[in-house]
Amino acid sequence: MKQKLTTINHDRDNVGLKYIYPVISRRAGGLSIGINVNINNACNWRCVYCQVPDLVRGAAPEMDFQLLERELRFFLRQVLEGDFFDKYNVSQSLRVIKDIAISGNGEPTSLKGFDRVIELVGKIALEMGVLPKSHFVLISNGSLINQLDVQASLKKLNNYQGEVWFKLDSATENGRRLINDSKLTTEKMMNNLRVSTRLCATSIQTCMMDYLDEDKAKREREAYIELLKSIKEESIAIKKIMLYTLARPSFQPEAGEIKKLDDKQMEKFANKIKKLDYFDVSVSL
């Protein structure tokens, strides 16, 4: 029987490579090639909805760049010329590389020399004809963008017409402490967002869930809208605001306390943002 890579199989080990994990995404309409830099499951945050098993605090370990190059070339050849789609029984309509996404089991920009990853992946993908057709995305919590080497990596990402997906789950320090277990101040978060938008196309990615009590949730939503108003006033160029809710169970102790936000509330909030008449908004239910 053929192995099936399904749209719900997001297992990082699904093709037995160390850094590369393919995901067939129905939402994206094809194959997303994930690059997992944090093979030690280490992140500087601990979001209550995080799906990383055995998540620990910390940074990405040293990268074996030669192995990353070998794996990426090998994998892209399997997809472009080999039998990857047949082997995993991927339906015809999804047999397209939609994006290369640097994300994974922790914050990727915590890797020392992270810009080399962008350079290497960009160079190989361009050489093999994957870029610029497919998207090149860095999924980040944005907390380290104040660092010069991270800024250098965003400049490189921009050279490949890539995009940053900047995590912004809460506009308040209390909210970020509760949701992301992060002490990132609003001032620092906003500075990082400004820098990110100056260096590279940047979208905001916001996870919405049923977690806080009603009063707190209401205050959070109001604060988020106020923050967006200030972003508009400053004319900060945000490509898109992507709202999403829980699709898979969290691996954190709070898993039992958080629930998917219902479709109506998601749409209602998206409409509020649209009324600001500045942002492009998408909702993944």
Nearer to ligand SF4, 85 or 202 (CB): 202
Other Cβ atoms closer than 10 A to 191: 13
How are the residues of the chain apportioned to helix, strand and coil, as percentages rounded to the nearest 5? 40, 20, 40
Nearest approach, Cβ of residue 55 and ligand SF4 (Å): 6
Q: How far is the CB of 102 from ligand SF4 (least distance, A)?
A: 12
Token pair recorded at residue 9: 């199989």
Where along the sequence are the contacts to ligand SF4 (CB under 6 A)? 43, 45-47, 50, 52, 106-107, 141
- Cα–Cα separations (whole angstroms), residue 144 to 19, 57, 176: 21, 15, 15
Looking at the Cβ atoms of 56 and 80, the one nearer to ligand SF4 is 56
Q: Yes or no: say if 98 and 131 are a contact pair by the CB < 8 Å rule.
A: no
Q: C-beta of 163: minimal distance to ligand SF4 in Å?
A: 17
Closest CB 105 distance from ligand SF4, rounded Å: 6
Q: Considering beta carbons, is residue 130 or 212 the nearer one to ligand SF4?
A: 212
Distance CA 237, CA 6 (A): 35
> How near is the Cβ of 143 to ligand SF4 at its closest, in Å?
8
Residue 141 or residue 245: which is nearer to ligand SF4 going by CB? Answer: 141
- Which residue in this structure is represented by tokens 């093709």? 15
CA distance 147 to 144: 6
